[in-house]
């Protein structure tokens, strides 16, 4: 995978925590919804929450584990495809990086 430029790497390092918080907030909201499902037993709700967390943990790892410049473009594309940046945050990346990200997102 191609590396992003140094300036965009610095932007990502600054925005990464906010994107992680947004991702976790969404997952936790879904956990609350599943845990409160009235037409299921406690065990069924537990299993639904467990399955969701396993699935989302893999996504979280793909986006946020091992933060290196060599992995940044793919991680950014995954974050972008899940709308984890505000438009103002996304605009902080260079036009070149945004174009490369758009190509990756369009492939997915």
| Mean residue pLDDT across the chain | 93
**Is pLDDT of 105 > 90?**
no
Please report, rounded to a whole number, the percentage of residues in the chain having pLDDT higher than 90: 81
- Predicted pLDDT of residue 45: 97
- Predicted pLDDT of residue 103: 85
Nearest to 77 by CA among 59, 104, 107, 96: 104
Any long-range contacts for 25-30 (C-beta under 8 Å, 24+ apart)?
27/52, 27/53, 27/56, 27/60, 30/56
* pTM for this model (two decimals): 0.90
Q: What does the pLDDT average to over 19-40?
A: 97
Please report, rounded to a whole number, the percentage of residues in the chain having pLDDT higher than 70: 98
């Amino acid at each position: 995978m191609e590396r992003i430029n140094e300036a965009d790497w610095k932007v990502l390092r600054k925005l990464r925590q906010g994107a992680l918080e947004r991702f976790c907030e969404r997952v936790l909201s879904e956990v609350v919804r599943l845990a409160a499902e009235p037409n299921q037993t406690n065990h069924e709700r537990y299993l639904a929450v467990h399955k969701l967390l396993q699935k989302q943990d893999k996504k979280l790892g793909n986006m946020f584990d091992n933060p290196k410049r060599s992995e940044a473009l793919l991680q950014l594309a995954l974050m972008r495809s899940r709308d984890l940046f505000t438009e103002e945050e996304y605009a902080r990346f260079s036009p070149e990086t945004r174009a490369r990200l758009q190509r990756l997102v369009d492939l997915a």
